[in-house]
């Protein structure tokens, strides 16, 4: 059971928008930065969003992050078949003093 809760799966059609939620508590999301990773099949994860809403160099602005209280959301617009992947949220948990990941969300582009 993950400390951070993500939906197991989401789906949408090409060109549409999708959001992936990640909920936690005041000991993690509520007081620490959140990061999002994309993992394509058979590859290592890649950083998509850091510090809640910033994009690393090379990440298109189709990807966005937002935070509200103890939840964060990853948004992806203009969906492409190449976006089909597993997405993970991650942060520090101040009570447990460890890094925690969400359980992951599988995105299907129909």
Partner 1 sequence: EVQLVESGGGLVQPGGSLKVSCAASGFTFSDSGLHWVRQASGKGLEWVGLIEGKPKNYATVYSASVKGRFTISRDDSKNRAYLQMNSLKTEDTAMYYCVTGVTTSGFDSWGQGTLVTVSS
Q: Is 96 in the site for partner 1 (CB under 8 A)?
A: yes
Q: Is 17 in the site for partner 1 (CB under 8 A)?
A: no
Whole-angstrom Cα distance, residue 90 to residue 88? 7
For residue 23, what are its two tokens? 């909920």
- Min dist CB 43 to partner 1, Å, is 9
The number of helices, as runs of H, and strands, as runs of E, in the chain is 0, 9
For residue 107, what are its two tokens? 């995105």
Among 40, 78, 98, 110, binds partner 1 (CB under 8 A): 98
Residues 76-95: x/- map of binding to partner 1 (CB under 8 A)? Answer: ----------x-x-x-----
Percent helix, strand, coil in the chain, to 5, is 5, 50, 45
Binding residues for partner 1 (CB under 8 A): 2, 33, 35, 37, 39, 44-47, 49-51, 54, 56-57, 86, 88, 90, 96-104
């Amino acid at each position: 059971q993950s400390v951070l809760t993500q939906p197991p799966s989401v789906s949408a059609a090409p060109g549409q928008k999708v959001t992936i939620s990640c909920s936690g508590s005041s000991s993690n999301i509520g007081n620490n930065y959140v990061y999002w990773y994309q993992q394509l099949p058979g590859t290592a994860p890649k950083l998509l969003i850091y510090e809640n809403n910033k994009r690393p160099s090379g990440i298109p602005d189709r990807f966005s992050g937002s935070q509200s209280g103890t939840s964060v959301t990853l948004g992806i617009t203009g969906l492409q078949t190449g976006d089909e992947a597993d997405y993970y949220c991650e942060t520090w948990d101040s009570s447990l003093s460890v890094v925690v990941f969400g359980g992951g969300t599988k995105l299907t582009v129909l």
